[in-house]
Amino acid sequence: MLNNPAARRLSSAVLEPPARLLLRLHVSPDVVTLIGTLGTCTAALVFFPRGDFVPGCLIIAAFVLCDLLDGTMARLSGRAGPWGNFLDATLDRIADGCVFGALMLWAAATQSAWTTAASLACLVGGQVISYAKARAEAVGATANVGIAERAERLIVVLLAALLAGLGVPYVLPIALGILAVVSVVTVIQRIVVVRRQLYAKPDRAES
């Protein structure tokens, strides 16, 4: 959804001015990546476990922009490359883990076991989705499929948490349950597509 050309053009138009400003101030894209991760993790772990979803979501949304800015800065400065991709992907896993881990702490303290289990499934599923793609590329395949990409998962859970903070009942447990299901489906989709690719190339298939 967020990878189509129209969305990319819109994001470039919005992000390029602040990205150019930061570059003129000699701010490194890596620094922006690190600040975004630290801000997201701190906000999630401070606010979410105690149910303060409105400030937590607003702060996280602000820092999530860093995740978009760093790529734009790297492209404009000619620094885009394997190191930036590696750092960004690694820190994204940490940020996602903190968001869903903090929600699991909230669920364990105030919600049913099912909501806690859904939070755990989202946490584990998100990590496996990313790992499956990386591991597929390591064995000569691709796994760019799935109904629950990272951006969509974050948008859904942050919007649900914001609505929960504004007093809408049941929305966050329902959203976590849906995300748990689609995360599992995405993992299965990636396993299936990689298996098909590797079995089409028997010399590259692993026993």
Residue 92 bears catalytic tag: yes
- Which among 67, 70, 88, 92 is annotated as catalytic? 92
Sign of CA dihedral 42, 44, 49, 55: positive
**Catalytic site positions:** 92
